[in-house]
Structure 1
Amino acid sequence: MHLLRLGLGRERAVQSLRAYLQKYHPDFLFTIGFAGHLAPEPMESCTLFAVEKIFSTRSKTNLAVPVHPDFRFLPRASLLTSDEPVLKTEEK
């Protein structure tokens, strides 16, 4: 297992991850990050999710992500990435 610190910002994250993947070829990635919550129902802080789809404000397509069998016990979620913070309710 490796712990990789990608850095802040999309450019640094992409560069760091690309260099890592060229050197190592993992069977799966486990990423940890900080995120807000867009769904209307309440959620406890520090909740872990298995991400099934990734959406980006930079693209109109989405990416389906297979969930590794070891993490199927986690609740499922979709992830929205954005270069800018989403601060207002209407931006969600």
Structure 2
Amino acid sequence: MTKVYSGDRTIDGILVTVDGQPLDEHTESRCYSRNGFEWSYEGPEPSQLAYAMLVDHLGDPARAERLEPSFMRSVVANFQNEWEMTSADIDRVLQRFA
């Protein structure tokens, strides 16, 4: 089943969802930042978003941690204000890192 990840900057702040539900930050397994998610630059908050997306997608925190730096720099740091990415899109990106 394909999941849909999306992010938006709203008047109430940052909103990141997976299939319409809030994306878990997964700070219990790896904490880059306790300030929530961010994107469009390289830093701790985009790292937390990249890691959370990868943990949700892969179900493997150790693999997510290994892939996070490349995924954050090549994908999350380049997101626009509003973005959407499917699990198939993530798989395509991860194939480039293999």
Q: Same fold (TM over 0.5)?
A: no
Structure whose alpha-carbon radius of gyration is higher: 1
Structure showing the higher helix proportion among its residues:
2
| TM-score using structure 2 length | 0.24
| TM-score using structure 1 length | 0.24
